[in-house]
Structure 1
Amino acid sequence: MKTFKLNTGIEIPVIGSGTNTYGKENHDYLAAINNDTTEIRSAINAGYRHFDTAISYRNEAVVAKGIAESGLDRSDFFLTSKLPGEPAYTADEAVVRKGVEQSLKALNTTYIDLYLIHHPWDSLAEMLATWKVLEDHVDKGVLKAIGVSNFNQEQLGHLLTHARIKPAVNQIESHPGKWNDAIIDYSLKEGVIPEAWGPLSRVNDQAKESLTTIGNDYGKTWAQVILRYQVARGVIVIPKSHDKHRQELNLAIFDFNLTDDQQKIIAAL
């Protein structure tokens, strides 16, 4: 698996598996947890070692269960989780610490590779205060890297200016029709790795047709073309699938390179 180096020096796999509907009845985000690890185990068998979860997903323990069932060492995996950007988890130092401890317990681990603030809120000062508590956990080795999710330039810039430890990742929505180029370019310029959630979502038929035409040159699907484009421009991708074959296809993107002209076509979608 290809990796990018975070500003902490840690290597992160450039493709991770989203998990927000894993281990839930009918694969429904809001449904009850059923502890089914089928998709996690098939992803591991396909070669995924990077899994992205969150307290809000309610399934950190399901991810941990799937990893345990694989028989592989915890050190073989890169785990990302997220602290909700809401008062119950950010109001003061005690609740931030409680959130981190909740994730550690659910993931059945002594450390988390990457921990993100899941969503920003109105107060830059409060976000910085929450960040400082996460910095303390980095000092203790409990969190190996910390970052943010869904932060715009002002919010990310505030942390870059005032934080002791620079955010390693900014996870944002990015897919055809909403590439979010401005925040991706800003993050890259500042040494913060952008990470695309929902990279294969909301792709309209016209975009699929253009991407399929490009993919035909390489024997690749429209989805593989999207993922290759993102990784080529320095963006980590977090696709999610419940289908074993599609999981495998999402990893098979390193045996072709898009031309400059093709990348321009994709960027314009």
Structure 2
Amino acid sequence: MKYKTFNNDNTMPQLGLGVFRVENDDTAKNAVKHAIESGYRSIDAALVYGNEEMVGRGIQEGIEAAGITREDLFITSKLWLDDFGRDNVAKGYETSLKNLGLDYLDLYLIHWPGTDNDLMIDTWKGMEDLYNAGKVKNIGVSNFNVEHLETLKAHSEIQPVINQVEFHPYFTQEPLRNYLKEEGIQMESWSPLMNAEILSDQTVNDIANEIDKSPAQVVIRWNIDNGVITIPKSVTPSRIEENLDVFDFSLTPEQMDKISSLNQNKRIGPNPAEFNG
């Protein structure tokens, strides 16, 4: 497993399991448990996914099955817009902790910036309060564009360690990536496989055939070779294992360029500048 270092010198696994759109039942529990048994050490959750309870059970069962400790894992969750405002952040955080059955999170993110910059700034101050109190190891943001980050920078004491955003070969986000690199903020991709849409791309399949890897492994490796942290989602045991099996090869500069050239500035999720829940 590769790790990325944050601007506060803490580290995070570069590959984890996402659980968006996974039912709050044994499906979520078993996927998380199997991921941990298979070697995953990062799980990405969120309050609004509605499955933190069973994700939490999967974490506990995974810890026992893998013979590891809670400290070996890196668990993320996210603050939803309903809990915006400095005085509400702690409540949202405690709700996720209770749901997950955990004493702390390794990373807590503002899930979306919303459309009210003053409220966003006030909410970030609540995130800073959590961090300064030692209740969470790292704080960051999700779905923030450059303008959001510049606004935050002008009104905050603590810089986000990470920005989790939509990123895949059809939406390569070059300006945002360059900005994050300059600012020392890690970039993390959600839905890197585009809900499987990218797996039918001919260029991706040609490269997969060239190197005897699956299309999913090629796209995940493209994320890793770009220095991006990524959290592909799957509930299928074989695919969970396959998605992790990407550390025994690299893509050539030519292959990387071919995949990057697929960019269409095509989103599959909302535009952060307009989304307000």
Q: Does TM-score exceed 0.5, indicating one fold?
A: yes
Report what 2:229 is aligned to: 236
**d(CA) in 2 for partners of 1:35, 1:106:** 15
Report what 2:21 is aligned to: 21
> Which letter maps to 2:72?
D
Report what 1:27 is aligned to: none
Report what 1:117 is aligned to: 110
Show structure 1 runs of 4+ deviating over 4 A.
202-207
Quick check: 1:105 aligned with 2:101? no
TM-score by length of 2: 0.88
**Structure 1 pair 204–122 and aligned structure 2 pair: CA distance change class (3 A):** closer
Report what 1:30 is aligned to: none
Quick check: 1:160 aligned with 2:153? yes
| Structure 1 residues 79-98: aligned runs within 5 Å | 79-84=75-80, 86=81, 88-90=82-84, 92-98=85-91
User: Deviation at 1:202?
Assistant: 5.2
Structure 1 unmatched ranges of 5 or more? 25-32
User: Deviation at 1:187?
Assistant: 1.2
Structure 2 unmatched ranges of 5 or more? 263-277
Report what 2:71 is aligned to: 75
| Structure 1 residues 197-212: aligned runs within 5 Å | 197-201=190-194, 204=197, 208-212=201-205
User: Deviation at 1:207?
Assistant: 6.0
Paired residue secondary structure (1:172): strand
Quick check: 1:127 aligned with 2:123? no
TM-score by length of 1: 0.90
Report what 2:51 is aligned to: 59
**Structure 1 pair 39–117 and aligned structure 2 pair: CA distance change class (3 A):** same
> Which letter maps to 1:114?
L
**Structure 1 pair 155–206 and aligned structure 2 pair: CA distance change class (3 A):** same
Report what 2:3 is aligned to: 3
Whether contact under 8 Å (2:193, 2:199) holds in the other structure is: no
User: Could you tell which deviates more after superposition, 144-153 or 118-127?
Assistant: 118-127
Q: Deviation string for 1:39-90 (max 9, x for gaps)? A: 1111112111100011101222212111111213211110000001x2x301
User: Could you tell which deviates more after superposition, 64-73 or 167-176?
Assistant: 64-73
Report what 1:150 is aligned to: 143
Give percent identity, aligned residues only.
40
**Structure 1 pair 202–58 and aligned structure 2 pair: CA distance change class (3 A):** closer
Report what 2:271 is aligned to: none
RMSD between aligned alpha carbons? 1.7
> Which letter maps to 1:12?
M
> Which letter maps to 2:189?
A
User: Deviation at 1:220?
Assistant: 0.8
**d(CA) in 1 for partners of 2:6, 2:101:** 24
**d(CA) in 1 for partners of 2:198, 2:120:** 39
Report what 1:29 is aligned to: none
Report what 2:34 is aligned to: 42
**d(CA) in 2 for partners of 1:68, 1:247:** 18
**d(CA) in 1 for partners of 2:198, 2:89:** 43
**Structure 1 pair 108–153 and aligned structure 2 pair: CA distance change class (3 A):** same
**d(CA) in 1 for partners of 2:166, 2:130:** 27
Whether contact under 8 Å (2:83, 2:92) holds in the other structure is: yes
**d(CA) in 1 for partners of 2:86, 2:128:** 12
Report what 1:177 is aligned to: 170
**d(CA) in 2 for partners of 1:213, 1:240:** 23
Query: Which fold has the larger relative contact order, with Cα–Cα distance below 8 Å and residues 6 or more apart in sequence?
Result: 2
**d(CA) in 2 for partners of 1:167, 1:146:** 6
**d(CA) in 2 for partners of 1:41, 1:207:** 29
User: Deviation at 1:94?
Assistant: 2.8
User: Deviation at 1:21?
Assistant: 2.9
